[in-house]
Amino acid sequence: MAITALMAGSALVTGFKDDKRNFDITKNLDVFNSIFKELDMYYVDSIPTEEVVRNGIDAMLMQLDPYTTYIPESEREDFNTMTTGEYGGIGSMILQRGDSVLISDPYEGMPAQINDMRAGDVILAIDGENMIGKKVSQVSEKLKGQPNTTLTVTLGRKGEPEPIVKEITRRKIQINAVTYYGIVGDSIGYIYLSSFTDKAAREVREALLDLKKNNPGMKGLVLDLRGNPGGVLEDAVQIVNFFVPKGEEVLSTKGKIKNWDRTYKTTQEPIDTELPLVVLVNRGSASASEIVAGSLQDMDRAVVIGERTFGKGLVQTTRPVPYNGIVKVTIAKYYIPSGRLIQAIDYSHRNADGSVGRIPDSLTHVFRTANGREVRDGGGITPDFPMEQERSSNLSLYLMRDLLFFDYANEYAASHESIGDIHTFQLTDADYEDFKKFVIGKDFTYDRQSEKALRELKKIAEFEGYTDGAQDEFAALEAKLSHNLERDMDTFRPELEEILTTEIVKRYYFNKGELIQNLKNDKELDKAEEILSNPKLYRETLKLQETTPAKSEK
């Protein structure tokens, strides 16, 4: 009797809480509707209905996490492009410069490139409609459309006195997830995966099989996930499956609705479980990238090299809302094989100003890989061999901001029909001197942090009465820190020349060429080659002789 009464009392309390919550939801929605109706009826100016309501929705969702978002019908095409890598258009990136929108990066073999649309071309009009003064999003909307439909694009090109008119047929543009693959160093396979579309696993599979077929003596494989923001979870599981046996648990998801909790296991026979494997990551590797890198690390199947990853351990799904919109909702957190959650930010606890911070290392927990190696949760994936990215100079950042690398590359391409073999191409001293003259001739200026710091120091010294005896020292330091663009361009030549060379290579070999050029001086890739060329170091890193079962320490 007592147990029955206790259970009944518990049910009453639960029912009361549910009723209270339902009342609060109904009350607040009624208040919101009433306020909007009052504004619409009595506010002195007309209310832009869609904009005001959208701002209200966005403000509500901002209280949760950045991945829970509302996508109205007008934005669903862009969302589908992110998921599938496909859209109808001309196949080119575009960028904003002042009131104009420019062609930035035509894709090789796509309508823009086939019709000789070049980086730097100004889009003057589309189908007779003036595009000057339009935003990138507005121009992009005009360029996109159903495949096999035509449009007329009017371009302005430097050196051409008259506008250039192009009639272009749109195509289905497929943005490949595998941007490039090949052999690097001494028989090391390399695959760069830029995103996790719904075709990512298929593309990785095709690249891996092709590498194995044409390079039977391949010593190892580098899977490059740097800058990969994630995407389709199922494709991440399939990619892990290429390297581990059937039936292995890759991750599990846990959320509010228990019926939606899932465990993802490998379901196919693998391609290769023995090939030595390195995964490259950086702070831009997120979500599905972290599933692949973290799972392979937990299983002691791959050595991870690079920067600590972004730390996104949240799973989203889409739910339909009225008028063909969707809301992307975070429904669960995911856990990789050791049991760790790699989510680095606790969005449920915000600071007074609304900001959120990374979970402190002191609050993370130790977990163990299959072979007993120590790994931690709560901070993304920490590489087995951490390597920090070198910071860009202030000078290079301002040159990029002002599009001076971009502009010079366009002029270089206009006067050089080809650059020969991409693997041997490099700028000459004369080329770099020409670039310096180009920049100096643009009256280019930039903020120098050392000059700012010196001005602040001088103010503090004057306030505290220390400048009288330090006039000569301050004068000497000011002379050393004076603005001298030519000198600074010589000081930072290796960095500036590398950026400029990459920009020029893109004019001839497009996105694939950009990646190949960047791999020439890639310290993370060099480290990967070192490890894959040293079987003893590879085995010791992964403790392959040990078979300690995975467990957690909390």
Active site residues: 287, 298, 312
HEC states along 237-277?
HHHHHCCCCCCCEEEEEEECCHHHCEEEECCCCCCCCCCCE
Q: Which residues pair with 122 in a beta bridge?
A: 102, 156
Parallel/antiparallel/unpaired status of strands 249-255 and 325-335: antiparallel
Angle at the Cα of 532 from the Cα atoms of 531 and 538, rounded to 5 degrees: 60
Amino acid, res. 120: G
Beta bridge partners of 385: 305
Residue 417 CB neighbours (<10 A): 7
Q: Can you tell me whether residue 502 is helix, strand or coil?
A: helix
Residues 6+ apart with CB under 8 A from 265: 247, 248, 249, 250
Three-class secondary structure of residue 155 per DSSP: strand
Per DSSP, the three-state class of 393 is: coil
Please choose, from the candidates 36, 93, 108, 39, the residue with its C-alpha nearest in 3D space to the C-alpha of residue 509.
108
Name every residue whose Cβ is closer than 8 Å to that of residue 485 and which is 6 or more positions away in sequence. Answer: 439, 440, 444
320: enclosing H helix or E strand: strand 314-321
CA–CA distance from 126 to each of 78, 89, 364 (Å)? 20, 13, 54
Picking from 270, 229, 214, the residue whose alpha carbon sits closest to that of residue 247 is: 270
| Residue 197 φ/ψ, nearest 5 degrees | -80, 180
* Distance in angstroms (rounded) separating the CA atoms of residues 222 and 243: 12
Residue with tokens 């002691």: 300
In this structure, the number of other CB atoms found within 10 A of the CB of residue 228 comes to: 28
Task: Say which residue the tokens 């371009």 belong to.
Answer: 155
> Smallest Cα–Cα separation from 304: which of 292, 321, 314?
292
User: In this structure, what token pair is assigned to residue 66?
Assistant: 């950045």
**DSSP secondary structure letters along 508-542:** HHHHHHHHHHHGGG-HHHHHHHHHHT-HHHHHHHH
Query: SS3 for 401-470, per residue?
Result: HCCHHHHHHHHHHHHCCCCCCCCCCCCCHHHHHHHHHHHHCCCCCCCCHHHHHHHHHHHHHHHHCCCHHH
- 323 phi-psi bin (left φ>0, alpha ψ -120 to 50, beta other): left
